[in-house]
């Protein structure tokens, strides 16, 4: 007599973009309340989630491997051990994907927040998880999170989770950091795409090969069920909420007009979708599962 399954299959999904293979690797998920949403009444936010059969706010945490020109890059590293136990699954899922962290030669960071960069190093020992990798990020990002004056202005708990976490995680790579300032080639077939507002150096990465394109847009949205339909909704942890809203609306318009494929760190796993125009707002259409490579 067979036993019923007791756990899910590994959260790994491959998608080809021309000659490049992009692998979505789940770091898990994070649960949160409504207090971090701005420009919307909390009861309205709960009602929107309820209508979409979401009893609470749950955010996927996705990372992406880029297999290109015989090399491997990783976009974002997840939460490590800094946040909830439901996250921090990147390393185990890399094993399921058949990727040795030692083979990753580039880590591309959309920005420095604990759910994106706290999986760079072992928090207890300071040992880097990707010792052969360069760290690539926007030049404004590291400068912002290294500003001691800014650090002293925020509550102590936020200093630990944001500013101190940055130094703990980045320190083992201090001689292997490369920065960009605009749209630049950062890896074979990958171009940086600055998307400021959420943080000063928040960026996406455009993967292009053989006329196919995919934009991995980082934290353009955090709550897809709400922020796609209501792009004016911002987050308390947006460094510049006005700019974040402007960036989101501009990219939604461009993505819906050109019908290009996107992937997001907080879009339900595996995170691939397309933005469509719906009357005066937008919708998000998850891409159907593709069974072949």
CATH number at residue 241: 3.60.15.10
**CB atoms inside a 10 Å sphere around CB 102:** 11
Decide if 191 is inside a domain.
yes
- Average pLDDT score over residue span 207-221: 97
Decide if 2 is inside a domain.
no
Give the per-residue pLDDT at 162. 85
Decide if 6 is inside a domain.
no
For residues 172 and 117, give the distance between their C-alpha atoms in angstroms, rounded to a whole number: 13
Give the per-residue pLDDT at 166. 86
Give percent of the chain with pLDDT exceeding 70: 100
Mean residue pLDDT of the chain comes to 94
- Average pLDDT score over residue span 148-152: 85
169: pLDDT strictly greater than 90: yes
20: pLDDT strictly greater than 90: yes
CA dihedral of residues 220, 177, 131, 160 (deg, nearest 10):
-60
Residue 104, domain extent: 12-286
For residues 83 and 71, give the distance between their C-alpha atoms in angstroms, rounded to a whole number: 30
- Average pLDDT score over residue span 140-147: 90
Looking from the CA of 136 toward its CB, the CA atoms found within 13 Å total 27
**Tokens encoding 151:** 């650090």
Give the per-residue pLDDT at 156. 80
For residues 291 and 14, give the distance between their C-alpha atoms in angstroms, rounded to a whole number: 9
Give the per-residue pLDDT at 27. 98
**Tokens encoding 98:** 């058949």
Decide if 266 is inside a domain.
yes
Reported as a pLDDT band with limits 50, 70 and 90, residue 189 is very high
For residues 244 and 252, give the distance between their C-alpha atoms in angstroms, rounded to a whole number: 12
CA dihedral of residues 104, 111, 115, 293 (deg, nearest 10):
-50
Give the per-residue pLDDT at 273. 98
Decide if 292 is inside a domain.
no
Decide if 196 is inside a domain.
yes
Domain count, the chain: 1
Judged by average pLDDT, the poorest of 155-159, 215-219, 270-274, 284-288 is 155-159
1: pLDDT strictly greater than 80: no
**Tokens encoding 207:** 């993967």
Reported as a pLDDT band with limits 50, 70 and 90, residue 191 is very high
Say what the pTM is: 0.95
163: pLDDT strictly greater than 90: no
- Average pLDDT score over residue span 69-95: 96
Decide if 245 is inside a domain.
yes
Reported as a pLDDT band with limits 50, 70 and 90, residue 155 is confident
Decide if 3 is inside a domain.
no
Give the per-residue pLDDT at 107. 98
């Amino acid at each position: 007599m067979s036993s019923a399954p007791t756990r899910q299959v590994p959260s790994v999904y491959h998608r080809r973009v021309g000659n490049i293979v992009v692998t979505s690797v789940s770091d898990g998920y994070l649960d949160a309340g409504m207090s971090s949403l701005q420009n919307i009444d909390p009861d309205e936010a709960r009602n929107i989630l309820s209508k979409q059969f979401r009893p609470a706010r749950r955010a996927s945490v996705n990372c992406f491997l880029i297999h290109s020109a015989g090399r491997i890059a990783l976009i974002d590293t997840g939460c490590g051990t800094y946040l909830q136990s439901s996250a921090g699954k990147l390393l185990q899922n890399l094993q399921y994907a058949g990727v040795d962290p030692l083979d990753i030669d580039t880590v591309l960071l959309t920005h420095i927040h604990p759910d994106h960069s706290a999986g760079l190093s072992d928090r207890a020992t300071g040992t880097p998880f990707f010792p052969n990798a360069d760290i690539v990020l926007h030049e404004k990002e590291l400068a912002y999170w290294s500003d001691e004056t800014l650090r002293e202005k925020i509550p102590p708990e936020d200093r630990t989770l944001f500013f101190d976490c940055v130094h703990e995680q980045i320190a083992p790579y201090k001689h292997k950091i490369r920065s960009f300032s605009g749209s630049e080639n950062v890896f074979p077939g990958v171009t940086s795409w600055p998307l400021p507002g959420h943080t000063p150096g928040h960026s996406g990465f455009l993967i292009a090969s053989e006329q196919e394109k995919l934009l991995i847009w980082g934290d353009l949205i955090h709550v897809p069920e709400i922020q796609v339909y209501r792009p004016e909704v911002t987050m308390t942890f947006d460094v510049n909420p006005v700019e974040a809203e402007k960036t989101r609306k501009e990219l939604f318009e461009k993505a819906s007009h050109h019908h290009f494929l996107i992937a997001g760190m907080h879009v339900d796993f595996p995170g691939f979708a397309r933005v469509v125009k719906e009357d005066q707002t937008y919708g998000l259409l998850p891409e159907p599962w593709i069974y072949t490579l």
